[in-house]
Structure formats: structure tokens, C-alpha cells
């Protein structure tokens, strides 16, 4: 019976010794917090040696790095990684290039001439002055010039070749 009591006392001593060697959740929490101090957006909670990570990071690499770093803390039994990765934010599209008044006038005249079938007329616009070049029938020249004037060109330079 005495041997049995000694054996039980020895086992109890070993069990208490082993249990007391495990760091407390508070100690583990301190170690985990130190590991996470360089990772903003992540918090941790420790329960029974299990670390539960939560929060939000910008990419998967940060999420994985946080998990790996806390696994190395003494006393951590496992890690539950509930960290969310933020959805990638698409940059807004660049603003549409504003057309200059010259570009607007050129586009207006190009469209008008195309609609009227004057495919051999080319338009250049600089500072509101429209320069018309290309080939046109004598009967069409007056209409071509009138179209440029109606489009509010400050000046119309006629360099058309009459055919």
C-alpha cells in the first residue's frame, strides 16, 4: 500500500509539474501581441492555448504571415485564422480627356462633310481657324464653305482644289 501511495504521489507530482510548465493564456497572449505588433488590423484572443486571429488585411500574404508568426509563440496549441482579406479596390478610371474647342470643331466638320458625301475634303483646325483642303466640285464649294461658317469657325481658309 505504501508503494502504491508513493506511486500515486509521484504521478501527481509529475502531472502538476507538467501542467505548471505550460504557459498561461495571459503569457501566450503577451507573446502573440508582440508578434502581431507590426501587423496593423489584426487582433488575437487566446483561450486554452488556442489563438483566434481576427481583423482585416490588404492581402493573403499578410494573413498567412500573421498566422505563421503566432504559431511560433511558446504554448500555442493551434491557430484559428479568421482574418479577412480586403477586396481589391479598383482605381477610378482616368477622367475622359476633354476635347479642345479645335477638336470639337474638327469633329463637327468631319461629320458634316462625311454625311454630305464630301469624302475628299480634309479639315485642319488651329485656334478656331478651319483650313479646308482636298478636291471638290465647283458646284459643292459654296456648300462646303457655308458648312464651315455655320460650325462657328473664326475663319475659313479655302485651299480646296476645284475639279
Asked whether the domain spanning 101-162 has the same topology as the one spanning 23-85, the reply is yes
pLDDT tens string 24-68: 889 989 998 998 888 888 999 999 999 999 999 988 889 999 999
Four-way CATH pick for 101-162: 3.30.1340.30, 3.40.1350.10, 3.40.50.970, 3.30.450.20: 3.30.1340.30
pLDDT, tens only, 62-94:
999 999 999 999 999 999 999 999 887 778 888
3-state secondary structure the chain: CHHHHHHHHHHHHHHHHHHHHCCCHHHHHHHHHHHHCCCCCEEEEEECCEEEEEEEECCHHHHHHHHHHHHCCCCCCEEEECCEECCCCCCCCCCCCCCCHHHHHHHHHHHHHHHCCCCCEEEEEECCEEEEEEEECHHHHHHHHHHHHHCCCCEEEEEEEEC
pLDDT at 159 over 90: yes
pLDDT for 20: 56
Residue-range domain boundaries for the chain: 23-85, 101-162
pTM, full prediction: 0.46
Q: How confident is the model at residue 3 (pLDDT cuts 50, 70, 90)?
A: low
CATH assignment, 23-85 = 3.30.1340.30
Amino acid at each position: 500500500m505504501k508503494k502504491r501511495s508513493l506511486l500515486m504521489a509521484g504521478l501527481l507530482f509529475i502531472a502538476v509539474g507538467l501542467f505548471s510548465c505550460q504557459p498561461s493564456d495571459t503569457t501566450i497572449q503577451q507573446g502573440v501581441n508582440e508578434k502581431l505588433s507590426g501587423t496593423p488590423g489584426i487582433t488575437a484572443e487566446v483561450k486554452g492555448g488556442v489563438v483566434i486571429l481576427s481583423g482585416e488585411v490588404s492581402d493573403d500574404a499578410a494573413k498567412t504571415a500573421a498566422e505563421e508568426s503566432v504559431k511560433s509563440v511558446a504554448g500555442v496549441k493551434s491557430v484559428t485564422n479568421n482574418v479577412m482579406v480586403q477586396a481589391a479596390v479598383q482605381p477610378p478610371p482616368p477622367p475622359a480627356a476633354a476635347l479642345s474647342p479645335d477638336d470639337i470643331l474638327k469633329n463637327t466638320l468631319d461629320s458634316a462633310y462625311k454625311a454630305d458625301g464630301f469624302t475628299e475634303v480634309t479639315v485642319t483646325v488651329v485656334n478656331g481657324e478651319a483650313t479646308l483642303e482636298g478636291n471638290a466640285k465647283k458646284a459643292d464649294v459654296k456648300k462646303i464653305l457655308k458648312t464651315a461658317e455655320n460650325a462657328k469657325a473664326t475663319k475659313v481658309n479655302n485651299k480646296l482644289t476645284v475639279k
